[in-house]
Structure 1
Amino acid sequence: MTTNIIGKPLARVDGRAKVTGSAQYAADFNQPGQAHAVIVGATIGLGRVSGIDAEEVLGMPGVIAVLTHLNAPRLAYLPHKAVIDPAVGERLHVLQDDLVHFQGQPVAVVIADTLDHADHGAARLNVRYIAEEPIVEPVGPGATTVIPAAGIQPDAWIRADTSRGDADVAVARAPVRIDAAYGIARENHNPMEPHATVAAWDGDRLTLWSKSQYVVNEQAEIAAVFGIPADDVQVICPFIGGAFGTSLRTWPHVTLAAMASREVARPVKLVLTRKQMFSLTGHRPRTHQRIVLGSTADGRLTGLVHEGMGETSRHEEFMEALTAASGLMYACPNLRTRYRLVQLDTGTPNHMRGPGEASGIFALECAMDELSYELGIDPIELRRLNEPVVDESSGKPFSSRSLMECYATAAERFGWSRRNPAPRSMRDGRLLIGMGTASASYPAYHAPASARVRLQADGTAEVEAAASDMGPGTYTSMTQVAAETLGLPPSQVRFRLGRSDYPPTPSHGGSWTMASVGSAIRAACIAVQQEAARRAIADRRSAFFDATPDALHWHEGRLRRHGDSSYGESYQDIVVRAGEAIEADASAQRDPEVAGRYSMHAFGAVFAEVAVDPDVGTIRVRRAVGAYGAGRIINPRLAASQCTGGMVGGIGMALMERTLLDKRDGRPVNAHMAEYLVPVNLDIGALEALFVEEHDPHVNPLGVKGLGEIALVGMAPAIANAVFHATGKRVRDLPIRIEDVLAA
C-alpha cells in the first residue's frame, strides 16, 4: 500500500457515475405523488401588482393551486446572513407583498400534476400591474451612486476607499502616465444544470433535494425563512452540473418550492427555465473602472489610482473585491483606490468565478500593458521592475509569491521570445497575429470546516463532509487526502458529500474547498487514528495492550511501535475486535496568529495568442499558456482541468459574454443560449496549464491554495492585450466585439 497518493493524477472516482448517467442531480430526485411548480415572473421592471385573475387557471386541467401575494402564507423571514450574502440590505421576501422590484421577480407560482399543465397555467395567468419606469443603466439619468456601507466599517474585508502616500500628486508629476477607462458587461453564469429544487414535507420536517454550493447555509436560510428549527430541514445535493457561483446563495425559487409543497401537501418539483436564470439567480455585475498609472522613464511605478463602480440592486448592496488586488500586485509608494455602487432596479448580482479580481485585474493588467508600450519596455520586464518585496497594502510578507517564476515558466513554454513587439507586425497569411500577457492573483482563503471518518470492519474508511462538487473533482481530491493520511489505497476510501446532516463546511466557492475541507478531513483522519490506537491499547487481545500512545505510530495503514518494522495491526484488526465501527469527527481552521502575520495569495502568469481576420473582424484565441503558483497540487490532472476550464471562462468574458437589458423595463433581451454567447469546442484552441512548485506551510496544513478562480482572472486581459498587439487598436470594454476591431 502506498502513502504517496497526494500529487498523483488519479482519475475521477465519480467519473463512471457521471458518464453512465447514474449520478443524480437535483431535478432527478423525483418523489412519489410529486406535483410540479412553475414561476410566473413580473413583466414590468418596477411597480406594483394591481390584480391577478387566477380563477381561469384554477379551472384548467391538472392545476392544483395558484399561489400569489394574495393567498401565500406569511413567512417568518427571520434574520440570516452567511458570508456569501450581502452584508447590507434584505433578501427578497417572495410573494409577501405586491411590490415589484425587478423584471422577472416571482409574482405567482402555478402548481399542477404535470409540468405541461403547470407551464400552460403559468402562461395563461393574467397579472395586472401599475408600472413605474425602472433605472437599469448604471451610467445615465436616475442612477444613484452610493458608498458601500459595509465597505466603510473598520473590519471590512472589502474597503470602499484605501490610500498610501499621495497618488494624485504622484501621477500628476510622473514623467509617464496612463489614464484610461475600462468597462465590463453584465454576465450570467449559465451552467449546464439549471437551478432545481424538489421539496417534500413530512409533518414539520422538510427535505430539499436542491442544487446548492452551500447545503448547510441553504438549510439555515430556509429554516430562517419559515421560522422553524434548522434541524427540521435537510438539504441533499450529491452532484452539481456546473455553477460558477450561481448557487452559492439560496434564491427565492427554493422558498417557493417549499411553500408550494406545504400548501398542496405533497412533494413539489420546481425547475427554473434558462430564461428565468437570467433574472433570478444573480449575475456578474457590470463594472466601470478608471486606472491611472504614473511611472519613471525607466518603468518604476510612482503612483496608481484605481476607481471602480459596480452595479447592485436597490434592496441589497452586493460588493466584490474590485479594487483590492491593485494594492498588492506591484510595488508603488503612492496608491489610491475608490469603490462605489450604483443602485439599479434589477436583481441582486452574485459572485461569479473570480468575483472582483477577474474584473479589477482586467483593468489593471491592461493598463500595465499600455504603460509597457508607452515606455517601450517588454511587458514582463515592466512587471519584474515593479515586483514588490512585501504586500504593500498591508505591510505583511507574502506567505509565498511565485509570480516571476510563473512568468519565466509560461513565457518559455509559450515562446514569448519569438514575439515581435511592434503592433500589427506579426501575420499568418492575411491573419493578424497578436501575443499578450497578464498577471493573475486570487486570495488563498480558508474557513473553518469539519469532517467525519468512520473505520469499518471490512477495512474501508468512510469520510463525510457537507461539501459540494460542482465539477472540480471534490470527490476525488478529498479521497486522496484521506487515503494518504490513513495510509490506505484510494479504493478503500469512500467519500460522501452534499448533505446538510454531514459535518458542516463552508461554501463550495471562493477557491477554499480543498484548503478548508481538505484540512478538516486530514484532521478527522488523524483523530480516528488516535481513537483506533486508544482502542488497541485498551484491548487485552491487542499486541499493543497497555502501551503508551507516544510509543506507537501509524504507517501505511498499520499501527506499529516506534523502531519496530513488524507487520503491526491494521484498522480492520482493531475494528473487528471492537465489534463496531470506529468513528471520529474533527474540525480545522487557520491559525489566527499565522494568518495575521502573512499575506496569502495564489499568483499566475497567462499568455495568449490571437488571430484576427482584418477583413471581417473575427478574433480567435489560437492558444494560451498559464503558469500558476498555487501551493501543493493535490491532483495534477484535476488541477489542469480546473485551470483550462477557467481559461475557457476567460475567453467567454473577453470575447463573447454580455447580458443586454431593455432600458425600458430591464428585461434581459438575450436570455437564451442562441444570443448569450459562450465558448464552445470550436472556439477553443490549445490551452495548457503549468504549475510552479511552491511550498507554503503557512496557508493551511496541506499547503494548498485554490485554483478555481485564478485561472479565469488573468485570461481576459491577456486576450485583450493580444488583440492590441495584433491590431494596434486598444479595446477597453469587454466583450471585445467584431465592430471594435474592424476599424483597426
Structure 2
Amino acid sequence: MTEHKMDADYGASALDRGVQGLIGKGIDRTDGLAKVTGVARYAADQRPRGKLAYGYAVTATIAVGTVKSVDTRAASTMPGVITIITDDPRLPAESPNIGADMAPRFDGVVESYGQIVALVVAESFEQARAAALAVTVDYAPQKGKFDTMAEIGSAKPPHEGAMLPDAIKGDVDAAMAAAEVSLDITYSTPYQVHAAMEPHAAVAEWDGDDLTLYGSIQIFRAARPLLAKSLGIDIERIHMLSPFIGGGFGGKIGGPEIVLASIAAQAIGRPVKVALTRQQLFHSVFGRSDTFQRIRLAATAEGRLTGMAQDSVVSQKVGVSFFEPVALGALSLYESPARQFTTRIVKLNITRAGAVRAPGEAVGMMALETAMDEMAEQLGLDPIDFRKLNEPVVDPMRGVPFSTRRLTDCLDQGAERFGWDKRVATPGSVREGEWLIGLGMATAARVNFLANSDARVRLTPEGIAIVETDMTDIGTGTYTILAQIAGEMLGLSIDKVRVMLGDSDHPDGAGSGGSFGAASSGSAVQLACDDIVAELARRMDAKPEDMTLKDGHAIAGNKRVPIRTLVGDTEIAAMGILRPGKNSRSFSQATHGAQFAEVAVNAVTGEVRVRRMLGVFDCGRILNAKTARSQALGGMIWGIGYALHEDAVLDQRSGSYVNRDLGEYHIPVNADVPQIEAYFVEEIDNHASPVGAKGIGELGISGAGAAVTNAIYNATGVRVRDWPMTLDQILPGLPPV
C-alpha cells in the first residue's frame, strides 16, 4: 500500500518512464460500445431481483406555508396503487446540497415551490402518476419572498468558514478615484438549472436490514453517508451502485430519489424505482442562483490595472448556507494592487441554489471578461494585449507562486489559430449582406482541487490488470483514463485492463465533481501501480527505474520476461491512497485558457448565429486527447447557452419556474452549435497531483459565454449586460441596414 500526501512536488514517476504509449493518446472510450448499443444500464434501467414497483412524487403547489391535510382517499382506490407515503418522518423534501448530513426532511412546512410532500407507489409508472395527480393537498399559504433585488436590504455577507469569504487587498475606492481610466458597471445572470440528459432515478431493494441502491450518483462519499443518516441505518448496510451516469454537472450528489426509493421499498417489501420527472427536477433538485455583479476596474492610461473589484449579490433559499462563489475565478487572474471581491446573499423562498458546473467561474467570468473587453475599448487596446499587460508573476492575492500558468501561451496560440489579426476593432464594420460579423475573445480560468482518493489494482496470473474504486464516470471518460494510466504503468495494452467503477464495495474514490476526479483517482491508480512495479522489479532483480514494462513483458538486465510469468499463480495487489496536502497552500493552482468566438448577427431581425468557436487550454498533463477535447467542447457549447439561451424564469407571484421543461428552458441544440476547435498547451504539473494533471471538465464553460458576448458587440456595437442576450435587447441598438 502506498499513501501519498501532496505536501511537495511529486517529481518524476513510473508514468513518466512508461513506453506503452497510452497516456495522452485519443483512445476510444472503453465503455463506448456498451453505451451506443444500449448494453450500458443507467439507474432507471436496473433490474432488481424482486418484482419492481414504481414511485411518483407529489410536490407542493405553493412556495410558502404549511400542509393542513393530504387527502389520499380517491388515489388509494385507483388501479395498481400499493401505498401512499405521507407521514414517514424520513420523507425528503428536496435535494440536499454538497456537505449536507442528510436529505432535508419534509415536516409539513413548505419553504419553496415544488417540495416533495408525498410519494405514491404503484404497480406501474403510469398508475403511480395517475394516482399522484389524484392526491389532494390542502395548504395554509403564506406570503413569500421571490425577488432578489427587492430584498437587497436583507442581504448578508458570507457565513464564517465559507468557501469564498470576502477578499479585500488595498483600497479599490481610492484606486477608482485616482484612475486615469475607469469602469463601473453591473451585470446580471439569471437562474439556471443542470438539465442533465438522464433524469434523477433510483432503484432500491432491501434484503432484511441490508439495502442495495442503484442510483445516478456522482460522489459516493457524499451520497452514501447522506442516505444512511436519512434512513437512520448504519452506512455498512448500504450497497450503492452507479456504474453509468448520463450527465451530472454537480446535481447528482444524491438527490431525494435515493431516499424516496429506499423508504418505499422498505414499506412494501419489494424493490421500488423512483424517477423524477423533468418538471419536478426544476424544483426538487438545486440549480444555480441568479447573480448581480458590480465590476469596477481602474487603470493607468497605458492599461495597467490599479484596482479591480467584483462585488456580487446572489440569492439562496432560506436556511441554506451555500452560495454561488461568483468571484472564484477572478481572485488570482489579473495583477492589480487594489483588489476587492465580496458577496452578499439574499434569502428567499425559492428552490435552493447549489453546485452547477464550475460554481462561481461559469457566471463570474461572464461578467468579468465582458468588463475587461469594455475596459480594453476605453483604453484603445487590443483585448488580448490588455490581458497580457496585466499578467501576474505570482498569485496577486496570496503572494505565492503559481504551480504552472500558461495563460499567455493560450492567448497567443489561440489568437494565431483563430485569425485574431483579422479582427476589425470598430464595431459594425464587417458585413456580409444582412449579416454583421464580429469576433470576440475572453479568458478562461478555473481553480484546481485535489480530493482524497483510494484505488486498488490487481495484476492477475493471466496478465490482466483490474482497477477497483468507487469513483464514477459521468460521461467524462473515467473508465478509459484509468485504464490508460494502469496500462502505461504496467506495460499492458488497453484491452488487458479492466476498470470497475461505481460500486461502494470498492475503495473510496474521489467521485466526479469539482474537476478533481481524473487527477485524484488517476493518481491513486498510479500510486497502486507504483507498488506493483516495485514488486515486479524485485522479482526481476532490478531497480524499478532500470526496468521497462511494455506489451506484457518486463525488460531489465538483458532479460525479457512475460509479466504473467513474474506474477505466478497468485495475483499481485496494491492499494494507492492519495491525500491533498500543503502544496495547495504553497502554490496557487488553477487551469487557464483563451476562448474565441465568431458570430453573425442579422441586421434586420437581430438573429444571432455563432459561426465558430476556438479554445486553447492549460490543464496540466493531458491523459486522453479525445476525452479532454470532448470535455472542452461540452463546456464551450454550454457557454453558448449561457450567452444566448438559458433562463429559468421565476414567477414572482408563485415562486415557481414557469418554463420548467426542455421545451421552454432553452439550451443549445445541434443547429445552434458551430464548428468548435479545442487545443491544449500541455505542461505536466507535479505540484498539482502525482499524475501531473489538473481539471478540465469545468474550465471549458468559463469565459465561453463572454467570448460570444464580446463578439456580438464587435459585430453590432450593441453591448448587452444582462444574460441571456435576447432579441429584445439586441434589436433596438442595431445599426441601420
Per the shorter chain, which TM-score range? Answer: over 0.9
Could you tell me whether the CA contact under 8 Å between 1:168 and 1:305 is conserved in 2?
Answer: no
CA separation of 1:548 and 1:688: change in aligned 2, threshold 3 A: closer
Match of 1:489 among 475, 493, 504: 493
Secondary structure, aligned partner of 2:689: coil
Shift of 1:437: 0.6
Distance in 2 (CA, whole Å) between partners of 1:493 and 1:550 is 21
Q: In structure 1, what residue type is equivalent to 2:656?
A: R
Q: In structure 2, what residue type is equivalent to 1:571?
A: I
Could you tell me whether the CA contact under 8 Å between 2:332 and 2:395 is conserved in 1?
Answer: yes
User: 2:293 corresponds to which residue?
Assistant: 289
Shift of 1:314: 0.6
Describe how 1:643-722 pairs up with structure 2 within 5 A: 643-722=632-711
Shift of 1:559: 7.5
Distance in 2 (CA, whole Å) between partners of 1:362 and 1:371 is 14
Shift of 1:92: 5.3
Question: Is 1:400 paired with 2:394?
Answer: no
User: 2:558 corresponds to which residue?
Assistant: 565
Secondary structure, aligned partner of 2:163: coil
User: 1:581 corresponds to which residue?
Assistant: 571
Could you tell me whether the CA contact under 8 Å between 1:91 and 1:316 is conserved in 2?
Answer: no
Question: Is 1:522 paired with 2:511?
Answer: no
User: 2:10 corresponds to which residue?
Assistant: none
User: 1:556 corresponds to which residue?
Assistant: 550
Shift of 1:699: 1.0
Secondary structure, aligned partner of 1:327: coil
Match of 1:49 among 60, 67, 84: 67
Secondary structure, aligned partner of 1:311: strand
User: 1:140 corresponds to which residue?
Assistant: 150
Match of 1:205 among 196, 206, 210: 210
User: 1:27 corresponds to which residue?
Assistant: 44
Distance in 2 (CA, whole Å) between partners of 1:141 and 1:550 is 64
Secondary structure, aligned partner of 2:386: helix
Distance in 1 (CA, whole Å) between partners of 2:508 and 2:96 is 16
Shift of 1:73: 4.4
Could you tell me whether the CA contact under 8 Å between 2:91 and 2:259 is conserved in 1?
Answer: no
Distance in 2 (CA, whole Å) between partners of 1:263 and 1:695 is 53
Question: Is 1:443 paired with 2:447?
Answer: yes
Shift of 1:596: 2.7
Question: Is 1:118 paired with 2:128?
Answer: yes
CA shift digits 1:58-81 (9 cap, x unpaired): 11111011111xx3145899xx99
Could you tell me whether the CA contact under 8 Å between 1:91 and 1:315 is conserved in 2?
Answer: no
Distance in 2 (CA, whole Å) between partners of 1:176 and 1:205 is 67
CA separation of 1:428 and 1:142: change in aligned 2, threshold 3 A: closer
Q: In structure 1, what residue type is equivalent to 2:54?
A: H
Could you tell me whether the CA contact under 8 Å between 2:549 and 2:555 is conserved in 1?
Answer: no
CA separation of 1:670 and 1:560: change in aligned 2, threshold 3 A: closer
Q: In structure 2, what residue type is equivalent to 1:645?
A: G
Question: Is 1:104 paired with 2:119?
Answer: no
Shift of 1:695: 3.1
Shift of 1:525: 1.3
Secondary structure, aligned partner of 1:724: helix
Distance in 2 (CA, whole Å) between partners of 1:551 and 1:402 is 30
User: 1:61 corresponds to which residue?
Assistant: 79
Q: In structure 1, what residue type is equivalent to 2:113?
A: Q
Shift of 1:91: 5.9
Secondary structure, aligned partner of 1:703: coil
Shift of 1:638: 1.1
Describe how 1:417-456 pairs up with structure 2 within 5 A: 417-456=421-460
Shift of 1:143: 7.1
Question: Is 1:162 paired with 2:164?
Answer: no
Q: In structure 1, what residue type is equivalent to 2:163?
A: W
Q: In structure 1, what residue type is equivalent to 2:374?
A: E
CA shift digits 1:526-577 (9 cap, x unpaired): 223334566x4xxxxxxx5xx5877974532667685x12113x332233x3
Shift of 1:674: 1.2
Distance in 2 (CA, whole Å) between partners of 1:528 and 1:312 is 49
Secondary structure, aligned partner of 1:710: coil
Distance in 2 (CA, whole Å) between partners of 1:440 and 1:245 is 20
Distance in 2 (CA, whole Å) between partners of 1:133 and 1:504 is 45
Secondary structure, aligned partner of 2:346: strand
CA separation of 1:299 and 1:349: change in aligned 2, threshold 3 A: same
CA separation of 1:203 and 1:76: change in aligned 2, threshold 3 A: farther
Q: In structure 2, what residue type is equivalent to 1:565?
A: N
Match of 2:475 among 471, 474, 478: 471
Describe how 1:609-628 pairs up with structure 2 within 5 A: 609-628=598-617
Distance in 1 (CA, whole Å) between partners of 2:723 and 2:285 is 22
User: 1:72 corresponds to which residue?
Assistant: 88
Q: In structure 2, what residue type is equivalent to 1:72?
A: D
Secondary structure, aligned partner of 1:713: coil
Distance in 1 (CA, whole Å) between partners of 2:149 and 2:96 is 30
Secondary structure, aligned partner of 2:308: strand
Secondary structure, aligned partner of 2:330: helix
Could you tell me whether the CA contact under 8 Å between 2:533 and 2:544 is conserved in 1?
Answer: no
Question: Is 1:255 paired with 2:271?
Answer: no
May I ask how many residue pairs the two structures share in their alignment? 714
Secondary structure, aligned partner of 1:366: helix
Gaps of 5+ in 2: 1-17
Distance in 1 (CA, whole Å) between partners of 2:42 and 2:91 is 28
Could you tell me whether the CA contact under 8 Å between 2:291 and 2:314 is conserved in 1?
Answer: yes
Shift of 1:361: 1.3
Q: In structure 2, what residue type is equivalent to 1:138?
A: T
User: 1:416 corresponds to which residue?
Assistant: 420
Could you tell me whether the CA contact under 8 Å between 1:2 and 1:488 is conserved in 2?
Answer: no
Q: In structure 1, what residue type is equivalent to 2:195?
A: N
User: 2:311 corresponds to which residue?
Assistant: 307
Distance in 2 (CA, whole Å) between partners of 1:551 and 1:392 is 40
Could you tell me whether the CA contact under 8 Å between 1:439 and 1:604 is conserved in 2?
Answer: yes
User: 2:187 corresponds to which residue?
Assistant: 182
Could you tell me whether the CA contact under 8 Å between 2:103 and 2:227 is conserved in 1?
Answer: no
Shift of 1:336: 1.3
Identity, in percent, stands at 39
